[in-house]
Amino acid sequence: MKVDRQLVLEIDRDDVVVGDTVTVRVRDEWNRPIEGALVRSDAEGTRTDESGQCRLTFREPGFWTLVATKSSTEHVGYERARQLLRVVPETTSPRAAQ
């Protein structure tokens, strides 16, 4: 019997500044980390470690869709997860003193 598990993609913040690294976590609906999941955007992709985490760095501003997938096994099927991430440009002017 094959069991389907829904992947959940979590990002450590809502907005990312261009050039900063963001930590992404992939887990299932029971909060178990998913090792070896592929997390992709249009810019790059990487696999999660044993804690279900990976890191991505974005070089251009914009809205990026992250997609987490994992290949099915004989006993478990995985349903992909999607998450939208906003990458904002670096500020070039210093913040005004208040």
Per-residue tens of pLDDT for the chain, all 98 residues: 788 999 999 998 888 999 999 999 999 999 999 999 999 987 678 999 999 999 999 999 999 999 999 999 999 999 999 999 999 998 744 454 44
pLDDT computed for residue 13 by the predictor: 87
Q: Flag whether 96 is in a domain.
A: no
Q: Which domain holds residue 12?
A: 3-88
Query: What domain count does the chain have?
Result: 1
Domain membership of residue 94 (yes or no) is no
Please check whether residue 95 lies inside any domain of the structure: no
pLDDT value at residue 43: 65
Residue 97 lies in a domain: no
What local confidence, expressed as pLDDT, does residue 44 receive? 79
CATH number of the domain where residue 73 is located: 2.60.40.1930
Long-range Cβ contact pairs of 36-40 (< 8 A, separation 24 or more):
36/70, 37/7, 37/68, 37/69, 37/70, 37/78, 38/68, 38/69, 38/70, 39/9, 39/66, 39/67, 39/68, 40/66, 40/67, 40/69
The predicted pLDDT at position 33 comes to 97
Instruction: Say if 98 falls within a structural domain.
Output: no
> For residue 73, is it within any domain?
yes
Note whether residue 11 is domain-resident.
Answer: yes
Q: What is the pTM for the complete model shown? A: 0.84
What pLDDT, on the 0 to 100 scale, is given for residue 96? Answer: 47
**pLDDT for position 97:** 46
